[in-house]
């Protein structure tokens, strides 16, 4: 039987525990969301120790996809598990519209001053710190006439039936769809024209992620496809007969958007982490490891990697970007239409 | 002489304490998540929040009246039915042999049966990705045998998904069948034989009817697993082999349509349960008619 004395003792003990609990909470490591595979490896082995050594902030990674981080932040409601979000800009735009992010305090991110144009969102609502350009790649042993422009996909009959495209769930497909609208229609929001033109490319093989495109190219299931430099240079390192170009119209790009989560537990650490990622030294490491284009003008790419990365320096202006804040209103409808009309 | 002190009766825990673990387990891990999904499936959609404030039955109307969804439902049910049937046809002889064999290699056979379970599902599916590609082992072997001129399209089709699911789920039909067949007294079949029945007649009239509970259990297990399989259809099916589980994930994860995705998931769960109830009734009736 619980007596009043027991009750008072319990309440007293709980009150004494509160500061301890708060301290324990305060000592919880800063959670860094990142991707799996080689990304997680680099973060665990290099970036996290470097970050701790540079800032004194203890941290741990949480591996997933941008969409997984969205689900966890949404599910967290008023107490998000992350203070920083990493994901493609079109995915970040969804959470931003739902009010989960707050503007960056740029005074805490001095390295952002050296970012290339177009990488900081309007109103400091997030910035893009990792840039993976998407070009047009092909199998050199299967294609006689290498492509020069995105429009070649439609105009060169040699490519018919050998084309690979991203599935609409991947940001790459949404970028390509909007590019088709811009190339052939009234603009990147001309979805009807984009669908008409993409249907002209059928039959084509679809892939859910870049690794799948790379595998399809390796197997010869597709001979030409839009894909990022990361995948193609990695295939070349393994001796695969593949090549990639910057199309005449420019390149598309996976841009990892970094945002401060409004309900996250440690926004100071989140700002420090974003600043750390933008550091020229870290940007160089990312470029050498993943063949991404440095976002910081001060970053130096190694002599071995630099000639293989055409989208750097002044060429960063060749990246074709789209506004996502309005697109998210129609994103689900577009995805549904793709599933029904393209398959 | 000392007086015996009567022992105090042992304190008995109230009965509800005994069922508390089960209630916590069912409530916490089944009822609460399901209830949350059901509630979400009735919430209005929103592009500026996870879901809107109001309630609607619109997502269910959309799912039930959409021919596109029904097309994928049909593909999913058909794939699950084929996988169930083929695993039964392939698994029964294996289970029968394992139940009857006295070979010293029996344990090796057991390992062979459960071997698909010893490797991660993603790894197994990657192996099928390599085997079934246009230039993979399957097409190369068929071409070398002169059976085909052009590669068969296995990947991104329901055929590839079906082949891989059969491999993945074969142990789930063999193991329940094995337990059932081992429990059948071999003397029953011997009695049939001693009364003049052929091997075939003995099998169809004695062994097969007695193994119906094992068939029933294995079939339900494989059917349910095939209906809800995600990794294999997602990796091998592409858009042409897409199943309901893949569509649900697309709604939830790719399109961020949580209420519509929840409605789709509930619809799928209800459909699966309905098919199983129907199957149980039909097989129960068939078993009652058995000699």
Report whether pLDDT(A104) > 90: yes
Give the up-direction half-sphere exposure of residue A93: CA atoms within 13 A in the CB hemisphere.
19
**Please, what are the averages of pLDDT over each run of 10 residues along chain B (291 residues)?**
64 78 89 92 81 90 92 95 97 93 86 87 90 88 90 90 95 94 88 87 90 93 95 89 92 87 94 94 78 58
Contact A254, A132 (CB under 8 A): yes
Contact B71, B79 (CB under 8 A): no
Contact A173, A181 (CB under 8 A): no
Contact B267, B259 (CB under 8 A): no
Which helix (H) or strand (E) segment is A170 a member of?
A: none
- What pLDDT sits at residue A20? 43
- What pLDDT sits at residue B255? 82
Cβ neighbours of A22 (radius 10 Å): 10
* Nearest CB to B256 within list A68, A94, A220: A94
- What is the b/e burial string over A238-247, where b = at least 16 CB atoms within 10 angstroms of the residue's CB? eebebbbbbb
Return the SS3 of A228: strand
Question: What integer best gives the mean pLDDT of chain A?
Answer: 90
What is the C-alpha separation between A246 and A230, in angstroms, rounded?
14
Report whether pLDDT(A23) > 50: no
* Nearest CB to B250 within list A70, A169, A342: A169
Report whether pLDDT(A17) > 70: no
Q: Residue with structure tokens 């039915």? A: B81
Distance from CA of B240 to the nearest CA of A (A): 7
pTM: 0.79
Check CB contact under 8 Å for A220 and B255: no
What is the C-alpha separation between A31 and A79, in angstroms, rounded?
13
**Chain B window 170-209: which residues touch A at a Cβ cutoff of 8 Å?**
none
Cis, peptide link before residue A25, omega less than 30° from 0: no
Is the ipTM, as predicted for this complex, more than 0.90? no
What is the C-alpha separation between A287 and A289, in angstroms, rounded?
6
Which of A181, A227, A188 lies closest to A207, judged by CA?
A227
Chain A CB contacts of B134 under 8 Å are: 219-221
CA A188 to chain centroid: 20
Q: Which of B14, B139, B239 to mutate to test the interface with A (most CBs of A within 10 A)?
A: B239
What is the C-alpha separation between A121 and A127, in angstroms, rounded?
6
Check CB contact under 8 Å for A206 and B68: no
End-to-end CA distance of chain A: 65
Task: Identify the closest residue of chain A to B132 by CA–CA distance.
Answer: A219
Q: Burial level of A52, CB count in 10 A (0-12/13-18/19+)? A: middle
- What pLDDT sits at residue B285? 80
**Chain B window 51-80: which residues touch A at a Cβ cutoff of 8 Å?**
68
- Structural domains in chain A, CATH included, are 8-129+256-298 (3.40.190.10), 132-253+325-341 (3.40.190.10)
- What is the b/e burial string over B90-107, where b = at least 16 CB atoms within 10 angstroms of the residue's CB? ebbebbbebbeeeeeeee
What is the C-alpha separation between B71 and B259, in angstroms, rounded?
21
Distance from CA of B146 to the nearest CA of A (A): 21
Q: Which two three-digit tokens encode residue B143?
A: 């071409």
**Chain A window 105-124: which residues touch B at a Cβ cutoff of 8 Å?**
none
B228 touching chain A per CB within 8 A: no
Q: Residue length, chain B?
A: 291
- What pLDDT sits at residue B103? 85
A340 touching chain B per CB within 8 A: yes
Q: Which two three-digit tokens encode residue A69?
A: 């981080």
Report whether pLDDT(A13) > 50: no
- What pLDDT sits at residue A60? 94
Contact A51, A80 (CB under 8 A): no
What is the C-alpha separation between A206 and A204, in angstroms, rounded?
6
DSSP conformation letters of chain B: -PPPPPPPPPPPPPHHHHHHHHHHHHIIIIIHHHHHHHHHHTBPP-SSSSS-SSB-SHHHHHHHT-HHHHHHHHHHHHHHHHHHHHHHHHHHHHHHHHHH---TTHHHHHHHHHHHHHS-HHHHHHHHHHHTSTTSHHHHHHHHTTS-SS----TTSHHHHHHHHHHHHHHHHHHHHHHHHHHS-HHHHHHHHHTT--HHHHIIIIIHHHTHHHHHHHHHHHHHHHHH--HHHHHH-TTTT--HHHHHHIIIIIS--HHHHHHHHHHHHHHHHHHHHHHHHHHHHHHHH--
CA A264 to chain centroid: 20
Q: Which two three-digit tokens encode residue A243?
A: 């090549």
DSSP character at residue A133: E
Name the CATH superfamily housing domain B52-289.
MetI-like (1.10.3720.10)
Q: Which of B47, B122, B125 to mutate to test the interface with A (most CBs of A within 10 A)?
A: B47
Percentage, residues of chain A above pLDDT 70? 92
- What pLDDT sits at residue B156? 86
Give the up-direction half-sphere exposure of residue B238: CA atoms within 13 A in the CB hemisphere.
23
Q: Which two three-digit tokens encode residue B74?
A: 């049909």
B254 touching chain A per CB within 8 A: yes
Report whether pLDDT(A24) > 50: no
What pLDDT, in 10s, does the model give residues A108-128? Answer: 999 999 999 999 999 999 999
Check CB contact under 8 Å for B253 and A67: yes
- What pLDDT sits at residue A5? 54
B84 sits in the region (left: phi over 0; alpha: psi -120 to 50; else beta) called alpha
CA B81 to chain centroid: 10
- What pLDDT sits at residue B284? 84
Return the SS3 of A215: helix
- What pLDDT sits at residue B290? 63
A238/A17: higher pLDDT: A238
Distance from CA of A280 to the nearest CA of B (A): 33
What pLDDT, in 10s, does the model give residues A193-230? Answer: 999 999 999 999 999 889 999 999 998 889 999 999 99
Q: Which residues, 6 or more positions from B207, have their beta carbon under 8 angstroms from its beta carbon?
A: B96, B181, B184, B189
Which of A26, A31, A27, A28 lies closest to A261, judged by CA?
A31
């Amino acid at each position: 039987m619980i007596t009043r004395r027991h009750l008072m003792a319990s309440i007293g003990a709980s009150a004494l525990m509160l500061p301890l609990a708060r301290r324990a909470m305060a000592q919880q490591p800063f959670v860094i969301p990142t991707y799996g595979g080689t990304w997680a490896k680099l973060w665990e082995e290099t970036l996290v120790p470097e970050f701790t050594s540079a800032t004194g902030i203890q941290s741990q990674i949480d591996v997933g996809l941008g969409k997984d981080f969205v689900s966890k932040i949404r599910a967290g409601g008023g107490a998000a598990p992350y203070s920083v979000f990493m994901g493609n800009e079109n995915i970040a735009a969804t959470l931003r519209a739902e009010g989960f992010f707050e503007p960056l305090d740029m005074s805490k991110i001095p390295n952002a001053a050296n970012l290339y144009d177009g990488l900081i969102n309007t109103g400091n609502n997030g910035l893009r710190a990792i840039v993976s350009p998407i070009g047009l790649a092909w199998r050199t042993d299967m294609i006689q006439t290498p492509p020069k422009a995105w429009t070649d996909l439609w105009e060169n009959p040699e490519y018919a039936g050998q084309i690979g495209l991203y599935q609409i769930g991947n940001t790459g497909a949404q970028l390509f769809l909007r590019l088709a609208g811009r190339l052939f229609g009234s603009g990147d929001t001309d979805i009807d024209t984009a669908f008409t033109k993409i249907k002209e490319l059928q039959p084509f093989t679809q892939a859910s992620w870049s690794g799948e495109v790379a595998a399809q190219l390796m197997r010869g299931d597709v001979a030409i496809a839009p894909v990022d430099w990361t995948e193609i240079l990695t295939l070349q390192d393994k001796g695969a007969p593949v090549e990639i170009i910057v199309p005449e119209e420019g390149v598309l790009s996976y841009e990892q958007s970094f945002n401060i989560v409004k309900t996250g537990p440690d926004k100071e650490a989140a700002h420090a982490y974003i600043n750390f990622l933008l550091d020229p030294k870290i940007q160089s490491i990312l470029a050498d490891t993943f063949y991404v284009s440095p976002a910081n003008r001060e970053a130096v790419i190694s002599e071995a990697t630099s000639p293989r990365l055409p989208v750097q320096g002044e060429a960063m202006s060749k990246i074709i970007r789209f506004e996502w804040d309005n697109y998210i209103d129609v994103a689900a409808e577009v995805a549904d239409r793709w599933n029904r009309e393209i398959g | 002489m000392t007086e015996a002190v009567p022992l105090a009766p042992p304190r008995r825990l109230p009965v509800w304490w005994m069922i508390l673990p089960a209630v916590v387990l069912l409530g916490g891990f089944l009822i609460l998540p399901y209830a949350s999904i059901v509630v979400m499936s009735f919430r209005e959609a929103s592009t500026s929040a996870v879901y809107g404030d109001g309630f609607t039955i619109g997502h269910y109307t959309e799912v039930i009246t959409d021919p596109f969804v029904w097309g994928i439902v049909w593909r999913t049910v058909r794939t699950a039915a084929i996988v169930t049937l083929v695993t039964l046809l392939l698994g029964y002889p294996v289970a029968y042999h394992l139940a009857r064999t006295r070979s010293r290699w029996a344990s090796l056979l057991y390992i062979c049966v459960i071997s698909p379970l010893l490797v991660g599902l993603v790894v197994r599916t990657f192996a099928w990705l390599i085997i079934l590609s246009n230039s993979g082992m399957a097409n190369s072997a068929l071409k070398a045998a002169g059976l085909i001129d052009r590669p068969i399209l296995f990947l991104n089709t329901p055929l590839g998904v079906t082949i891989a699911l059969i491999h993945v789920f074969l142990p789930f039909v063999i193991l329940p069948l094995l337990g059932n067949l081992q429990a059948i007294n071999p003397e029953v079949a011997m009695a049939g034989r001693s009364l003049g029945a052929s091997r075939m007649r003995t099998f169809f009239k004695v062994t097969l009817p007695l193994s119906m509970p094992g068939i029933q259990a294995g079939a339900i297990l494989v059917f349910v697993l095939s209906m809800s399989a995600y990794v294999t259809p997602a990796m091998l099916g592409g858009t042409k082999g897409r199943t309901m589980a893949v569509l649900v994930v697309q709604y939830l994860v790719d399109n961020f349509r949580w209420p519509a995705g929840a409605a789709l998931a509930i619809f799928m769960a209800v459909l699966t349960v309905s098919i199983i109830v129907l199957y149980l009734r039909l097989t129960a009736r068939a078993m009652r008619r058995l000699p």
